[in-house]
Amino acid sequence: MAILFPAMLNDTLPKYFDPRKYAAQEVSIEGRLLLKQFPELCAALASDEGDAFVHLDFRVDEDRRYIATGSIKSTVQLECQRCLEPAPIELEVDLSIGFVYDEDHAKNLPGDYDPVVMTDGEVVLAEMVEQELLLALPIVAYHAESGCNPVALKYASSTDDAPDDENKPNPFSILASLKAKKN
Ligand SMILES: [Zn+2]
């Protein structure tokens, strides 16, 4: 049974959906999407391994808006800025989405809803999830306290401490020679 479980969850996630239909029927969906299918997100990550767990509850609110609330949870690998090795970063995004026809319609949404614009009445789930994860990425990432790779840390800090090492070209002199070539 344990082997079947992820496949069953996957089956409830549509590739795209009509938010008006889901909201009218008060549909709930949940399942996992592989990070590999998010090219823009993976470009910012140290690894494309892993997945994102998505849960959404659809409804029509008191002002007849098409709404989805829920969450996205994922552990992504970002380059640690101390040791430069991949560090696991837990992302947990709370969602409160108002589906709209266009940008003008989006301006009329109350501030507690994030607008998602429908295309021909539909939304591509993976595109929506990728955008939410991109917004949730921290600008810089570090391993937790003492979680750095000690070998990589030693290397990273020794190169910082010895910028004039004769075996290693000084980045500033490279820049200077590049500038000189241009002129
Ligand atoms: Zn680290």
Residue 102 resides in a domain: yes
Residue 172 resides in a domain: no
Residue 168 resides in a domain: no
Structural domain count of the chain: 1
Lowest mean pLDDT among 78-87, 142-151, 158-167: 158-167
Q: What is the pTM of this model?
A: 0.77
Residue 54 resides in a domain: yes
CA of residue 155 to ligand 1 center, whole Å: 12
Residue 60 resides in a domain: yes
Q: Which residues of 100-112 are buried (b: 16+ CB within 10 A; e: fewer)?
A: beeeeebeebeee
Residue 182 resides in a domain: no
CA of residue 44 to ligand 1 center, whole Å: 17
pLDDT digits (tens, 9 = 90+) for 50-92: 999 999 999 999 999 999 999 999 999 999 999 999 999 999 9
CA of residue 158 to ligand 1 center, whole Å: 15
Residue 166 resides in a domain: no
Residue 175 resides in a domain: no
Owning domain of residue 52: 3-147
Kindly report the backbone phi and psi dihedral angles of residue 74, in degrees, each rounded to the nearest multiple of 5, phi listed first. -155, 145
